[in-house]
Structure 1
């Protein structure tokens, strides 16, 4: 470990879940009672030896003791307490830290309540805007796609059982880049009696994959590349051959409704497919050797830019971790259609992403990789890249989708990436101050602010005007 790791609250929760007192915990770990007390009170950092013993004895992962999830939760709590309509008077940073450390379940519940409150506000505004012209559902639970995103984020976007299974199958099947689709067709037929046939280039509904369970036939769009066809076949293989494992993951997540379970089922099948095409060990070794050069990895594995970025964001296997990345996919209107993070970086859930974030600039320079050092309001700095991508097309008036992909890590990992070569990462003028979104961003001097932060009283004087659209009182010694 490169830094001291304090696990007091996490260790206490683990002990209580196991029904042990401190003396029994000490005996199980082979350490003294006083050492357990000191660990639980964050008076001493955990040693590597004790951490590995915890993983062994309680059948968990090193990532379960990571500080990243707590930091992400702390960032979300800051957002809640910046909204004065929800939280009233400012709460100090120290109080929020204690809440996350000592009662993380309550902190998570509070964040969930705040998010539900905001969703109801957004729905009310939609009803007013439409003059009650549409019948809008009352969503008291998280939207299905948001709940599935949160599930993957809680797992640091790494599903260990599916990943290991995919890696084993890739090795057994000898899947070679450029020749995967034929090999997987044979697997589906030999093991499950499923024929794979071509789906017309111009399917009426734009389908990429269609499975007929009764006839045992899988149709895959013929215009897709070998890797894309292999991904679709592997997705169906997961749903047929490994349905039990997928359903076990879904049941453990406790999703409340069938829509959410269906999206999770598709997401987990896609996860397996990506892991099958890019087996963990081989891909991690190649990524490190290439210093995370995405285009080099594209050539090595015959896959697209987004596929490589997505796989890089999943390399969080205990004992063999890659650089912890965040990944985001944004359209030209600023809508975030994919977001996941193994870092403390947290994304706006409402009101769009920060306009100063370089991911938006990618659309103005198609195909070019852009870099940025960004600083969040809490002072944490991230190094990121962004590039535009396109999908579809191939004919006159054939629909085409455009996105920008953002991939980044904490600044401490930047030198592991080839994209940081030659950059002065410490230069103040290179650092761009960004925020999680205008609604919760505390920056009072941002010239790009689209609207004021929630719950802030605006200055009403009209005798002063500047580039800053909204002027409001800065917080004093409260949440930053």
Structure 2
């Protein structure tokens, strides 16, 4: 097992709380000399030390996890792929493990740079096409909300427990009543009239704050109607609880982001109400995370099951830490949630060798894939297609591929590991975050060269991979002879 050295982070946290080494050592129940060795990276952090640190300072031990370090490492490699001077892997690891605040700042600057580039490209298009555009040009709020969910490991304890309590209340007061009927009655206590509209084409839920009517699409299945009513209930009955969670930058100053995160948290509440935490977790463990059986048991779709599985990170009762992603045929990621470190690239698309794309050619089937990233980390991914839209000939339909993944060390808990050689690195399919930030030299699916190295072009030979690079030489450093 990898030893964890994070002395700089420990010194920073101690300084922020104004504690001396002696005071913290006494609070943790260890000797001052041992604490000094930890801070000087002369001794590694053990599970026992992390638990003592949690009790003494109330620090989330996730801050000292390998998952967080791996996420920062991936972000740094992407942000500095085009650096003028080569940066070695040990240097990246040192910054990610010892100076996480610096790593986060570099990643944030890189993200801001790409946002500005996107604005310039959009502005150029608008100025060049002769049309008048009044709509906003950027989608930055979406990224802010995604980062907010990731920073909470995709789990919000107050909201989750409130939803679980309401589900128990519904079962206790009306055990024979279906959830959609109970939710409709609950909304009526707030003066809201629920109605269904069969003519609704795109709108699943529309609330009129003047008439106090909630219109649902009649094409929705009962669980989908329950989800939409639970979302509306969250925005009304638990609005203050949601606002308490987002009294942090950037939502205090960015109104579009604030509205978007409120909807996201309301949707989170709805999922937690339909799939109450402990009941769902126990069922998931019993069924070895079989998403089809879980969908049948709780009467919801596979996408809802996968999304809920990515949120099971309650302290003391965690489930498997999953990453959840939804993509379309063009490779666009429309949903991504992660309870752990998996890094979704923001540039250059994703990897065509990832089984989330193979799922489109095998609709209706659940595909399992053991994969490995360039840094050697291995994952178990399952993928399947989902289709949304109204029934009937000629009705518009939307098809996506949904992926659910976890680190290989958790794979044995999943039914999908059956028949896979989890111990053999050779059994894993090599994938990457995207061609532009993937350093694999021998990938036949490469669409773009790796931006971190100079392009190698030899007119006298043709290779299977369309692009080659000069190992050890940075992009832009080649001189014309």
Provide the TM-score with structure 2 as the length reference. Answer: 0.90
Segment of structure 1 superposing worse, 215-224 or 46-55: 46-55
Secondary structure (helix, strand or coil) at the match of 1:371 reads strand
The CA distance in 1 between the partners of 2:310 and 2:301, in whole Å, is 15
Q: How big is the shift at 1:322?
A: 0.9
CA distance in 2, matches of 1:139, 1:108: 27
CA deviation digits over 1:288-312, x for unaligned, max 9?
1110000010011111101110111
> Are residues 1:193 and 2:152 paired?
no
1:473 equivalent in structure 2:
470
Equivalent residue for 1:81? 80
Does 2:170 match 1:179?
Answer: no
- Deviation at residue 128 of structure 1 after TM alignment: 5.6
Partner of 1:19: 18
- Alpha-carbon RMSD across the aligned residues, in angstroms, is 2.7
In 1, the alpha carbon distance for the partners of 2:62 and 2:254 equals 29
Q: Tell me if 1:248 matches 2:247.
A: no
Aligned length: 471
Q: CA deviation at 1:352?
A: 1.1
**Residues 288-297 or 345-354, more deviating:** 345-354
1:398 maps to which residue?
395
* Structure 2 counterpart of 1:54: 53
Q: Which moved more, 1:332-341 or 1:165-174?
A: 165-174
Could you tell me the TM-score, scaled by structure 1's length? 0.91
1:182-240 deviations in whole A, cap 9, x for unaligned?
Answer: 111222223x2323x22212215x21111122333222222222211111111111111
| Contact persistence 1:449–1:469 (CA under 8 A) | yes
Distance 1:441 1:138 in 2: 35
Kept in 2, the 8 Å contact 1:177–1:227? The answer is: no
Q: What are structure 1's unaligned runs of at least 5 residues?
A: none
- Work out the CA distance in 2 between the residues paired with 1:224 and 1:140: 32
Asked if 1:331 corresponds to 2:293, the answer is: no
DSSP 3-state at the match of 2:246: helix
Aligned position for 2:479: none
Q: Report what 2:273 is aligned to.
A: 276
SS of match in other structure, 2:128: coil
Q: Secondary structure at the match of 2:364?
A: coil
Other structure's SS at 2:187 match: helix
1:196-215 aligned at under 5 Å gives the runs 197-203=194-200, 206-215=202-211
C-alpha contact (below 8 Å) 1:116/1:142 kept by paired residues: no
| Distance of 1:428 and 1:317 partners within structure 2 | 31
How far the C-alpha of 1:450 sits from its partner, in A, is 1.0
Contact between 2:95 and 2:103, CA under 8 Å: does it hold in 1? yes
Q: Is the 8 A contact 1:8 1:101 kept in 2?
A: no
Deviations 1:20-71 (A, max 9, x none): 2222222333332223223333433445454334334434444344331221
How far 1:178 moved relative to its partner? Answer: 8.6
Q: Does 1:374 align with 2:371?
A: yes
Q: C-alpha offsets along residues 235-271 of structure 1, whole Å, 9 cap, x if unaligned?
A: 1111111111211212225334111111111101111
Which residue matches 1:239?
A: 235
Task: Indicate the larger mover: 339-348 or 68-77.
Answer: 339-348
Deviations 1:304-333 (A, max 9, x none): 101110111111111111111111100011
Deviates more, 1:46-55 or 1:219-228: 46-55
**Distance change in 2, residues 1:153/1:36 (3 Å):** same
Q: Paired residue for 1:430, among 427, 430, 433?
A: 427
